[in-house]
Amino acid sequence: MTPIRKKRLMLIGLMVGAVGIAVALALTAFNDNLMYFYSPAEITAGKAPADHPIRVGGLVVKGSVARKPDGLTVAFDLTDNKDTIKINYTGILPDLFREGQGIVALGKLNDQGVFVASEVLAKHDENYMPPEVADALKTAHNEGVAQQAAKSIVQ
Amino acid sequence: MIPEIGNFSLIVALSLAILLAVFPLWGSLNNRYRWMRMARPLAVGLFVFMAISFGCLVASFLNDDFSVLYVATNGNSKLPLMYKISAVWGAHEGSLLLWAFLLSGWTLAIAMFSRSLPLQMVARVLSVMAFVAIGFLLFMLITSNPFERIFPAPLEGRDLNPLLQDPGLAIHPPMLYMGYVGFAVAFGFAIAALIGGKLDAAWARWSRPWTTVAWVFLTGGIGLGSWWAYDELGWGGWWFWDPVENASFMPWLVGTALIHSLAVTEKRGAFKSWTVLLAIATFSLSLLGTFLVRSGVLNSVHAFASDPARGVFILVFLCLVVGGSLALYAWRAPSVSSGGTFGLLSRETFLLVNNLLLSVVAAMVLFGTLAPLIYEAMGWGKISVGFPWFNRMFVILTPLLAVAIGVGPMSRWKHNDPKWLFAQLRNALIVTAIIAVISLLPWVNQGHLLVSLGLVLAAWIVASHVENLRLRIRNRRGIQAVWQDLRNGSRSYYGMWLAHIGVAAFIIGITGVTNFEIERDLRMAPGQKAEMAGYEFVFEGVVKSMGPNYEADRGRVSIYQDGEKIGVLEPEKRVYFSQAKPMTEAAIDITWSRDLYVSLGEPLGNGEWALRLYYKPFVRWIWAAAILMALGGLLSVSDRRYRILRRKVSVRIGAEARA
């Protein structure tokens, strides 16, 4: 092997090694930073992990938004028209947050099954439904229809 | 009538683009000068008809012609003039038209400013650009025509999204697009060089200034976008790792690599194949960015299904561009000689490190951006990739880049004696070591090790560049040499210098704002006080006020420091007449070292309001960094060397052709 070849090989080896390490580091962190999306029905069914950052989405139940008299903590219910969960959030809600509107919240489930949100997202215009929420509603609806059908057959 | 003219011009432009794509290229392969000479007039024609078409859409907005669907959905008769114009690129169809118009502008620029280039090269570059134009024009005419009419015409338009009614965002998309489209020129040169099978230093030299100009626009566009998000969205964030932002950041990263790699190709004749590959990648990512952002695919895979024609067209077009150019590359690149050799410790190596790191970062960002799409398509669940992941990846990879930035400009091409290089860097190392010790003091880094890291990296970049400049002017007439250089000498060195200092400023900005920022959401009654970071905020209540096309609640917050009043901030909550939803308009008190940022939340009854207060140290440095980098780019483009050498090269090539 000529010295130039040898040098080149060394250079390539060093770089591949360094890049490999960096990529490996980044990728191991990848799974820890994934936030899965759950619907209220899935959370009620106990499918979501407690105390791990996740996202939930659904419609804000009308008449459920209550602000504590002091401070900035808000409590509201979130539904996919099948099941409903309770959400607590401390801070300023986005401009487009409204009862009956589809939202996505980021946060963790606590021991009591209350979702403690660190961030509430209600982007886009009033006709817009976050795609995950639309999906969750559709799934819940289909299941409901199927259950009704099953019931009516049993009866 | 005007929209019909616009539509007709689009069709004429398409025909001209087809002619431009076919005949000059064909002529260049068969040495038919007459066909090649068609390239320039056709490019002018393409530009003229694109300009007419674009002008027609602008005119439709100015005339409030709501019989045009696009104007009806994005315009409004009450919009201020500036936003009537910026509404043209406020949504999908219009931004495509802007893209194609700018592309024809760049094409014209090449046709005009390439007198010194061989005709064959010009013909090929213009043909390649025309191919891209065909793609965009077809896309518009088939799936997203901005001139489509509706009947019956509504009396009033649905108005431009209020978020977009901001001077920053009026010029942000054109800047960004100038960058995206500018990389089409680099792409054009690369493909033209591949077609000719001649990747030489001359090709790199022609391509360099164009690429740098495109990069300057992209840098400015991204900086503006970040500033707009911070200013307008009311969350006080300057970067969200949002897919839309990533889409513009990826071409920037690869484009930055391309600029550096072009330097090696020009100066040393090395990295040729790699440079071509980068040029292809940069433009492909620009295309990907444009399409993904506007088509809404990134929000959900389902966006594809909602308008299959667009989705399919985009996929086919991307496959043609990427696949076609890669096929050409595979066919032609092996015949390219590998060019100059270099030692392990050489400037080439450090530039290679730069290229590698930037490409890896871009690949990571691409992965993080597309991962949710992949997961959803594979049925692995719906995910989003968290902020922390992108940040962590960045913190791992950028320090290596910062180290290389310090060494690279100091080293010589080809080969360096390790002892010599160390001697060159000794002063910079000493300064950095001192800063490192200081930065580890508890009252400096306040317990954040990342602060020390940031300070050390910034110090290293600044120290090595100051030392570099000192060594450069030591052997000449001192500081006068700088002026001489700037007046008529090599400005590109100072461009590089400035842009690298920009990187240091960027590191300081990020370090300061991510480690020391304070955010507080408060419930405040009129007259109530709040302390934050040594400042006292006094909420003085909210009054109603009227704007040209909105009504607002305007809050008043006085700021005191050491008992002295230093400013009054008036954040607003606006309701635009044409929209039901409110908009938050933050108010910011700015100094070079920190921002105080106040935005209004919601009324809580009894005159009490929810308020959001931010203390953002060094946040301005981030945008200052973007400005420094852009200025650096401009400075190096204005280097006289390009103009002179270009002439010389063409003479030489002309001589060869005759011989």
Measured CA to CA, the distance from residue B545 to residue B453 in angstroms comes to 47
Tokens of B430: 């000493």
Nearest residue in chain B measured CA to CA from A32: B389
Tokens of A42: 């899935």
Q: With contact defined as beta carbons under 8 Å apart, do B506 and B405 qualify?
A: no
Residue type, A137: L
- Which has more pLDDT, B374 or A88? A88
Measured CA to CA, the distance from residue B626 to residue B302 in angstroms comes to 35
Helix/strand/coil (H/E/C) assignment for every residue in B363-388: HHHHHHHHHHHHHHHHCCCCEEECHH
Tokens of A3: 């010295």
Tell me if B523 and A70 make a contact (CB, 8 A cut-off). Answer: yes
Measured CA to CA, the distance from residue B177 to residue B251 in angstroms comes to 11
Q: With contact defined as beta carbons under 8 Å apart, do B625 and B513 qualify?
A: no
Tell which phi-psi region holds residue B460, choosing left (phi > 0), alpha (psi between -120 and 50) or beta: alpha
Is A2's pLDDT higher than 80? no
Tell me if A126 and B580 make a contact (CB, 8 A cut-off). Answer: yes
Q: A65 exposed, middle or buried (CB, 10 Å; 0-12, 13-18, 19+)?
A: middle
Percent of chain B with pLDDT over 70: 93
Tell me if A131 and B300 make a contact (CB, 8 A cut-off). Answer: yes
How far off is chain A from B521, nearest CA to CA, in Å?
6
Instruction: Express each pLDDT in A5-64 by its tens digit.
Output: 677 777 778 778 877 887 787 777 777 778 888 888 888 888 888 888 888 888 888 888
> What is the predicted pLDDT for the residue at B657?
43
First to last CA, chain B: 57
Measured CA to CA, the distance from residue B321 to residue A123 in angstroms comes to 34
Is B651's pLDDT higher than 50? no
Tell me if A7 and B344 make a contact (CB, 8 A cut-off). Answer: yes
Tell which residue, B389, B360, B177, B374, has the closest CA to residue B281: B360
Identity of the residue in B161, B393, B612 whose CB atom sits nearest the CB atom of A92: B612
Beta-carbon contacts of residue B367 (< 8 Å; ≥ 6 apart): none
- Which has more pLDDT, B47 or B579? B47
Is B455's pLDDT higher than 50? yes
Least confident of A126-135, B481-490, B617-626: A126-135
Least confident of A136-145, B258-267, B436-445: A136-145
Beta bridge pairs of residue A37: A55
Is A155's pLDDT higher than 50? no
> What is the predicted pLDDT for the residue at B465?
93
Measured CA to CA, the distance from residue B370 to residue B247 in angstroms comes to 10
Identity of the residue in A22, A37, A91 whose CB atom sits nearest the CB atom of B397: A22
Percent of chain A with pLDDT over 70: 80
Measured CA to CA, the distance from residue B389 to residue B133 in angstroms comes to 37
Tell me if A34 and B582 make a contact (CB, 8 A cut-off). Answer: no
Tell me if B386 and A34 make a contact (CB, 8 A cut-off). Answer: yes
Tell which residue, B300, B298, B291, has the closest CA to residue B322: B291
Tell me if A91 and B521 make a contact (CB, 8 A cut-off). Answer: yes
Beta bridge pairs of residue A115: A87, A109
Instruction: Express each pLDDT in B191-223 by its tens digit.
Output: 999 998 877 788 888 899 999 999 999 999 999
Identity of the residue in B356, B368, B521 whose CB atom sits nearest the CB atom of A92: B521
Report chain B residues whose CB lies below 8 A from the CB of A132. Answer: 300, 382
Distance of CA A145 to the CA centre of its chain: 25
Tell which residue, B361, B368, B397, has the closest CA to residue B385: B368
Is B50's pLDDT higher than 70? yes
Tell which residue, B337, B356, B446, B451, has the closest CA to residue B400: B356
Tell me if A18 and B381 make a contact (CB, 8 A cut-off). Answer: no
Average pLDDT over residues B552-564: 92
SS3 B505: helix
Q: Is the peptide bond before B3 cis (omega within 30 degrees of 0)?
A: no
Q: With contact defined as beta carbons under 8 Å apart, do B106 and B182 qualify?
A: yes
> What is the predicted pLDDT for the residue at B238?
86
Residues of B with CB under 8 A from a CB of A: 161, 234, 299-300, 302-303, 341, 343-344, 349, 352-353, 356, 360, 364, 368, 371, 381-386, 388-389, 392-393, 396-397, 400, 521-523, 580-584, 599, 601-602, 604, 610, 612
Average pLDDT, chain A: 78
Average pLDDT over residues A129-148: 68
Report chain A residues whose CB lies below 8 A from the CB of B385. Answer: 30, 33-35
Tokens of B124: 């090929």
Tokens of B90: 């406020």
> What is the predicted pLDDT for the residue at A131?
64
> What is the predicted pLDDT for the residue at B582?
79
> What is the predicted pLDDT for the residue at A126?
45
Tokens of A105: 């919240």
Place of tokens 């400042």: B535
Identity of the residue in A11, A33, A55 whose CB atom sits nearest the CB atom of B349: A11
Identity of the residue in B360, B522, B602 whose CB atom sits nearest the CB atom of A93: B602
> What is the predicted pLDDT for the residue at B294?
66
Average pLDDT, chain B: 87
Measured CA to CA, the distance from residue B530 to residue B559 in angstroms comes to 10
The confidence band for B101, taking pLDDT boundaries of 50, 70 and 90, is very high
Q: With contact defined as beta carbons under 8 Å apart, do B511 and B455 qualify?
A: yes
**CA-angle at A125, arms to B55 and A43, nearest 5°:** 145
Is A125's pLDDT higher than 50? no
Tell me if B583 and A15 make a contact (CB, 8 A cut-off). Answer: no
Instruction: Express each pLDDT in B125-172 by its tens digit.
Output: 999 999 999 999 999 999 889 999 988 888 888 878 777 787 877 888
**CA-angle at A39, arms to A34 and A43, nearest 5°:** 90
How far off is chain B from A125, nearest CA to CA, in Å?
8
pTM beyond cutoff 0.95: no
Is B26's pLDDT higher than 90? yes
Is B232's pLDDT higher than 80? no
Q: What ipTM describes this predicted complex?
A: 0.78
Is A93's pLDDT higher than 90? no
Place of tokens 């409030």: B64
The confidence band for B653, taking pLDDT boundaries of 50, 70 and 90, is very low
